[in-house]
Amino acid sequence: MTAIRVGHLYPDYLNIYADRGNIAVLARRAAWRGHELDVTALGMGDAVVPGEHDLYYVGGGQDREQLLVAEDLVAKAEALREAVTAGAALLAVCGGYQLLGRGYRGFHGEDMPGIGLLPLETVAGERRMIGDVLLECEFQPGEKRTLAGFENHAGRTRLDPGAQPLGRVLAGFGNDGESGFEGCRAGRVIGTYLHGPLLPRNGWLADWLLEQALAHRLGADDPPSLEPLPDELERRAHEVSAARARARGGRFG
Which candidate in 35, 53, 153, 195 is catalytic?
195
CATH of the domain at 18: 3.40.50.880
Segment 110-119, tens digit of pLDDT: 899 999 999 9
For residue 135, is it within any domain?
Answer: yes
Over residues 206-243, the pLDDT tens digits come to: 999 999 999 999 999 999 999 999 999 999 999 999 99
Q: Is 137 a catalytic residue?
A: no
Q: Is 238 among the domain residues?
A: yes
Range(s) of the domain holding residue 56: 3-248
Q: How many domains does the chain have?
A: 1
Q: Is residue 253 part of a domain?
A: no
The active-site residue out of 94, 153, 184, 216 is 94
- On whether residue 150 sits in a domain, the answer given is yes
Entry pTM: 0.96
Q: What is the pLDDT of residue 253?
A: 44
Instruction: Indicate if 35 belongs to the active site.
Output: no
Rounded Cα–Cα distance for residues 13 and 59 (Å): 9
| pLDDT in the model for residue 61 | 85
In the chain, which residues have pLDDT < 50? 253
Q: Is 163 exposed, middle or buried (0-12, 13-18, 19+ CB in 10 A)?
A: middle
The pLDDT, as a whole number, for residue 250 is 60
Does residue 204 form part of some domain?
yes
6's CB contacts (< 8 A; 6+ apart) are 23, 26, 37, 38, 39, 40, 53, 54, 55, 56, 57, 213
